[in-house]
Structure 1
């Protein structure tokens, strides 16, 4: 073997294990017994965690790090869209690449080996963002897998160019057809275009849906119908879906069950959703999230993503998806040990499934996309989010963190 990790902890297994890698694939998994199998490099984890690479399910690289360009603070979704639209007039390929790379480097350092990014397609930026991100995808492929969503942020039918540009984006190599139900002239028309385009190019669909606190905003019902009509079960993802959190419990439960039956993946985006939602409430301010636990109870696949990094939609962001998992744990009442396991699954195996990635996980034959952590349980990992010690992409070391902290607290207390 090229590489052997010994004495590893992984939540999928009940005992400590040894994991071997050859030619970028996991070829060996056995219970740890203290005996070393031959390998070119042997790394003893001493009981610490070895996870499959983290998956960033939803992020906007092309509009990351725009805070310093905003004329002031933004506190509403409409204002965020409008201010960002104004900034797009100044985008260049070099600018988009620089900001995107900044996010990607940070994400890889934190253990992300797969990422789905939404690239805006519209008459302002035309296809510059897509061309830049396609080139970037090839450039960083040895460190991270990028999936590119052709995303019509400004709507598809609010102008006479975007429909043509979306078609062209798919021909150029976009991986996913995107959509946004709350920013176009007609939901039915919008979804019909998106699903027909996806069918034509045999691509999955990823939609921004129902981003508000209004219980009557339920485009998700149309998404469920279109998913079934086009036979797209398990190939459709929806981001935000926050209106569902304001729907009466019984009705919300019925919708959650329908989402699960349709195989629609739900991507919670708490950093953005908590920041922009709930601002119209004077008392009992709503959390502004999709009802994560309700959806999980009805067997829907729920995952989470960073969405935005320091821009009009979200002034926060570190490109560490575990920060988002920790935020979701706090705001969705997910504080048990079992919840911690679920939240780690939501950023690993469940996230990979939602994005359709194959050859993933800690199993024989999977790509050796692995993250070495400096703790021995997932609860501590989620709650403390230490630096990831080592990150591997197909068995190749792509990031390494070495931190030395010297504390003088005890010494000063005893002198």
Structure 2
């Protein structure tokens, strides 16, 4: 007998109403809805409402969220955002980091985020404070959201002596991913080489902030592609931003996009931050400042999107709801068809899961039972009308924190 059965649900990429059964937190039954209902201890009569996999947040910064009240002035470009945050970090305490991080995590859980990848700043300014706090919170929240921690050298690796040792210590403490930011270091190639070497040594995946500008000559992605192939790291590398690619001549951009796909590199669009900070030098034909999503998809790359920052110098907006970012990206990338709506929901779930290396996410047999039940029978309406998320399950267990949609 099943522990739980969802009877008569609409699921992604199925023209048939389906029944989805759970045993011990795993999907063990998946069949077209019939008059005869499989035996289960509990049956959810869905009446055709949409059941989605849990949302996946593949790129977020918890340790520097909600900094607006601490800022003396607003950032007007990327350089200022980096500098202002660096200055603010000098006063960070573990208690402060924990309070702001918990605020975001509780919101994310309420919105139905069941997996999250967080970039944690590690440098001589803040030391390992953020990593130590987030390692604790990873355990505290493990029954609600599975958290991956990225060792992130925001200030550069070689610009800040001592960062290499701190990154290695953070990996030994239990971090999950080696991060990098080559555009904010003395030598981008040296930076990339160190990241790949550390990741290979620790047998961990890689996640870069890369090519965050409107400059078509800033293309560290080419070196990342080469190192990915040389290290045999296909499928283990993700990059966020990649906005310079949108300014590259189209024929050249097509070749780079194809190389990204060939190397199995996942791209995470970060439209809230990228729209806010890019294109500021343009007086006319102002660039959108977002990676060319359609081109990357056309060439076969795995593309998802992330919240990135929440109410700080980089992005003075944000709620922690991935569907906010989905709607924003739908506008800026001109993804407005019914098929595009399905694509955006995939990007928020299974494609984001692939980007962070999850093998068992999505509504399929023997995957984990992480779900959201929406009060609509039309998947497209999840983006257009934002119907309430009625209930959220993590490994088949109903979650208590449910956020009512903003109207």
TM over 0.5: yes
- Work out the number of aligned pairs and report it: 406
Equivalent in the alignment of 1:12: 13
CA deviation after TM superposition for structure 1 residue 3, in Å:
1.1
CA deviations 1:345-369 (Å, max 9, x no partner) are 1111111111111221111111111
CA deviation after TM superposition for structure 1 residue 400, in Å:
5.4
Equivalent in the alignment of 2:348: 347
| Matches of 1:97 and 1:403, distance apart in 2 | 25
| Matches of 1:99 and 1:225, distance apart in 2 | 38
Contact kept in structure 2, 1:198 and 1:204, CA below 8 Å = yes
Equivalent in the alignment of 1:44: 45
Equivalent in the alignment of 1:113: 114
Equivalent in the alignment of 2:299: 298
CA deviation after TM superposition for structure 1 residue 46, in Å:
0.9
Equivalent in the alignment of 2:61: 60
SS of corresponding position for 2:30: strand
Contact kept in structure 1, 2:65 and 2:312, CA below 8 Å = yes
CA deviations 1:67-125 (Å, max 9, x no partner) are 11111221100100000111111111111111111111111111110000000000011
CA deviation after TM superposition for structure 1 residue 402, in Å:
8.1
Equivalent in the alignment of 1:216: 217
Q: Residues 183 and 402 from structure 1, CA distance in 2 versus in 1: closer, same or farther, beyond 3 angstroms? A: closer
CA deviation after TM superposition for structure 1 residue 175, in Å:
0.3
User: Does residue 138 in structure 1 map to residue 139 in structure 2?
Assistant: yes
Q: Residues 255 and 301 from structure 1, CA distance in 2 versus in 1: closer, same or farther, beyond 3 angstroms? A: same
Contact kept in structure 1, 2:109 and 2:145, CA below 8 Å = yes
Equivalent in the alignment of 2:388: 387
Range with greater deviation from structure 2 (256-265 or 394-403): 394-403
**Residues 350-361 of structure 1: matches in 2 within 5 Å?**
350-361=351-362
| Matches of 2:299 and 2:379, distance apart in 1 | 24
Equivalent in the alignment of 1:410: none
Equivalent in the alignment of 1:158: 159
Equivalent in the alignment of 1:413: none
| Matches of 2:215 and 2:24, distance apart in 1 | 52
Query: What value does the CA root-mean-square deviation take over the aligned residues?
Result: 1.4
Equivalent in the alignment of 1:177: 178
**Residues 317-328 of structure 1: matches in 2 within 5 Å?**
317-328=318-329
Gap regions ≥5 residues in structure 1: 407-415
Contact kept in structure 2, 1:387 and 1:401, CA below 8 Å = no
CA deviations 1:254-290 (Å, max 9, x no partner) are 1000110011100000000000000000001000010
Q: What TM-score do the two structures reach when normalised by structure 1?
A: 0.96
SS of corresponding position for 2:372: strand
CA deviation after TM superposition for structure 1 residue 39, in Å:
1.7
Q: What TM-score do the two structures reach when normalised by structure 2?
A: 0.98
Contact kept in structure 2, 1:122 and 1:154, CA below 8 Å = yes
**Residues 264-303 of structure 1: matches in 2 within 5 Å?**
264-303=265-304
SS of corresponding position for 1:318: coil
Contact kept in structure 2, 1:375 and 1:381, CA below 8 Å = yes
User: Does residue 315 in structure 1 map to residue 316 in structure 2?
Assistant: yes
| Matches of 2:86 and 2:351, distance apart in 1 | 33
SS of corresponding position for 2:353: helix
User: Does residue 246 in structure 1 map to residue 240 in structure 2?
Assistant: no
| Matches of 1:405 and 1:53, distance apart in 2 | 19
| Matches of 2:363 and 2:125, distance apart in 1 | 43
CA deviations 1:129-171 (Å, max 9, x no partner) are 0011001001100000000000000000012210000011111
